[in-house]
Chain A
């Protein structure tokens, strides 16, 4: 089944420059607020490749983070159905960096984030998301 996915992001920039981001290998311009809008055939895994983050991109003073370069996934809209990352099972939204995989919507490291819909109908997938039907 064909499906439209919209990923709504916010981002932290350092000196006006954000992280480098590709979505399924297509480059995306990262700004303070941006949307990735893609049509997919389900089931699918959307891959977000994050790079360009250096240690100097996290500004710390007296142990407090004053500024950071990051990308944060705020909401996902699946065929018009809005869901929040916390509603998605950790097996459907992952961030892998340095051989470690976690579930996260705040992507402040270089690595690969993946979002998976493992059903051919998004409604069947939504049923399996613990934060949507509980």
Chain B
């Protein structure tokens, strides 16, 4: 049977959590960012501006792939407002020698243009995967498309609220969306096959 999960794969990982708490803190941080409260510097490699939250993480802000500012929040303060079980997951990933990088959270509007992650990050030399949980999505037709030109494989998955997907983000990918999407993301710099196997071993595939 043809495997149609070579670049992405659904996993049975649910985050039954009151995301209002995360949303509220994220919104407040963005308000303070707009007021000029945080030091920033432009990172050429990511074509993004990094707004420092000190030892508590950062907001990575860009418009190079989006029509509207795309702000990704990561770091200890985000982890503080996440459910405790999520920390168990990062510990399990690390225990299995997967290169867990961080958790991220963002709300974005409109499309995300075609790109590949990890090219500029030497930590991602072995691979680059995102695990994306769709918290909310206002466009019923929103979808993520992945394409590997070497293998000539194209796959896609819909932005269905409450679903979680692993994607090989080192491949070309983009998001077709006319609404607002809210995503919780786990960034892992390991090969897609290994990340997929990890979740299979957890009986989540």
Q: Measuring CB to CB, which residues of chain A are less than 8 angstroms from any residue of chain B?
A: 79-81, 121, 123-124, 126-127, 132-134
Contacts and interface: CB of A to CB of B under 8 A. Distances in A.
B68 interface: no
B95 interface: no
Contact of A124 (B28, B55, B56): B28
B25 A81 contact: no
A123 B28 CA distance: 10
Nearest to A78: B80
A121 B21 contact: yes
A123 B80 contact: yes
A124 B24 CA distance: 8
Interface string B39-65: 000000000000001111000000000
Q: How large is the interface on B (under 10, 10 to 19, 20 to 34, 35 or more residues)?
A: 10 to 19
B80 A121 contact: no
B25 A123 contact: yes
Given A123-B21, A126-B77, A134 B28 contact: no
B165 to A, nearest CB: 27
Q: Which 7 A-B pairs have the closest CB atoms?
A: A123-B25, A133-B53, A123-B81, A134-B54, A133-B54, A133-B56, A81-B80
A46 to B, nearest CB: 20
A45 to B, nearest CB: 21
A91 to B, nearest CB: 17
Nearest to B26: A123
A8 to B, nearest CB: 19
A121 B23 CA distance: 12
